[in-house]
Amino acid sequence: MEKVYGLIGFPVEHSLSPLMHNDAFVRLGIPARYHLFSVEPEQVGAAIAGVRALGIAGVNVTIPHKPAVIPFLDEVDEQARRIGAVNTIVNDNGRLVGYNTDGPGYVKALEEEMDVSLDDRRILVIGAGGGARGIYFSLLSTAAERIDIANRTVEKAERLVREGDARRSAYFSLAEAEKRLAEYDIIINTTSVGMHPHVEAQPLSLERLRPGGIVSDIIYNPMETKWLNEAKARGARVQNGVGMLVYQGALAFEKWTGQWPDVNRMKQLVIEALR
Ligand code: ATR
């Protein structure tokens, strides 16, 4: 029987996940379909009960339900628990297990797309919200030398560092981080600053950027933010958010099927859809 997978979130209409997963199912000859499920916040528990009752094989979870699904699951992977957010649920014979592939997807995309080892690197994460949490905790599992956090609301960066690893991480205001920019090999924007439709905005001044570093943004709409274009003009290698989107999907796909999809094909589909 065809297996059912899907995405629960609110809203979900513009998600590119069905495109990636359904294509990979077809190409790998897996009898399965990925659907969008728009779930209002007060229906999250009922939706998870529905996953059980209907025998849905697995779901992704997106904004705003990533933290909310946790109490309804049978088991939550340690890293997802630490992040406080689940984006992938595996239905293992009626046992619902939650994972987070966002942070690991980001790190894998960074390593693979930029062909870089994170060993001994000095990394600056801009932002301390939901997106930053997954990325920060995943970066802590690498051999990076420093993973500092800069945020508009400094207290939020401080809290994240306290939860993480205060020996490897410092927290800064955005202004302070701008002054120290030359210290970093990799600079990552996890905020929504520069996202459509506010495309003129930039998360941090790149005036003191050291040429030859990596500047990475989790935004994929637009694929070329003003900030990334400026980084490129200042001699950095740049990466947009398409890689994270694709790799979080590929890692979820692997958890569900045991197979690694063709990520380049997934990426191509996403890029075509975003153009
Ligand atoms: P997400 O889950 O997408 O990360 P979030 O939890 O609301 O969303 O976090 C948004 C991040 O973008 C935060 O780091 C936020 O900074 P604050 O903690 O100070 O709110 C940052 N952010 C959003 N709009 C911003 C702006 N105009 N300037 C600077 N930072 C901004």
How are the residues of the chain apportioned to helix, strand and coil, as percentages rounded to the nearest 5? 40, 20, 40
Q: What is the pTM of this model?
A: 0.97
Closest ligand 1 atom to Cα of 156: 18
| Distance (Å, whole) CA 44 – CA 125 | 31
Relative to beta strand 95-99, strand 88-92 is: antiparallel
User: In the numeric block, which tokens belong to residue 62?
Assistant: 């997106």
Tell me, what DSSP letter sits at residue 15? -
Which among 191, 195, 199, 227 is the best mutation to test ligand 1's pocket, defined by most ligand atoms within 8 Å of the CB?
191
Closest ligand 1 atom to Cα of 190: 4
Torsion of CA 59, 65, 67, 73, to 10 degrees: -40
191 Cα to the center of ligand 1, angstroms:
5
For residue 117, name the pLDDT band (cuts at 50, 70, 90). very high
For residue 129, name the pLDDT band (cuts at 50, 70, 90). very high
Relative to beta strand 237-239, strand 171-172 is: unpaired
Torsion of CA 211, 195, 113, 6, to 10 degrees: 170
Range 247-252 average pLDDT: 98
Q: Do residues 110 and 118 lie in contact, with contact meaning Cβ atoms separated by under 8 Å? A: yes
Range 90-99 average pLDDT: 98
Q: Using omega within 30 degrees of 0 as the cis cutoff, is the peptide bond preceding 104 cis?
A: no
User: In the numeric block, which tokens belong to residue 159?
Assistant: 């809290």
Q: Do residues 208 and 218 lie in contact, with contact meaning Cβ atoms separated by under 8 Å? A: no
96 Cα to the center of ligand 1, angstroms:
31
For residue 45, name the pLDDT band (cuts at 50, 70, 90). very high
131 Cα to the center of ligand 1, angstroms:
9
Q: Which residue has the tokens 């990925």?
A: 34
What's the pLDDT score for residue 23? 98
What's the pLDDT score for residue 227? 98
CA proximity to 9, closest of 84, 85, 83, 75? 85
**Residue with CA at minimum distance from ligand 1 atom 25:** 193
Residues recognised as catalytic? 66
For residue 173, name the pLDDT band (cuts at 50, 70, 90). very high
The predicted complex's ipTM stands at: 0.96
For residue 264, name the pLDDT band (cuts at 50, 70, 90). very high
Which residues are CB-contacts of 61 (< 8 A; sequence separation ≥ 6)? 7, 8, 9, 69, 86, 87, 88, 89
pLDDT tens digit sequence for 199-228: 999 999 999 999 999 999 999 999 999 999
What's the pLDDT score for residue 114? 98
Q: Do residues 97 and 90 lie in contact, with contact meaning Cβ atoms separated by under 8 Å? A: yes
Give per-residue burial for 142-165: e unless 16+ CB within 10 Å, then b.
Answer: bebebbbbbbeebebbbebbeebe
> Which residues form the pocket of ligand 1, taking CB atoms under 6 Å from any ligand atom?
127-132, 151-153, 156, 190-193
Which residues are CB-contacts of 225 (< 8 A; sequence separation ≥ 6)? 194, 195, 199, 202, 217, 219, 240
Order of strands across the sheet that contains 95-99: 32-38, 3-9, 58-61, 88-92, 95-99, 75-76
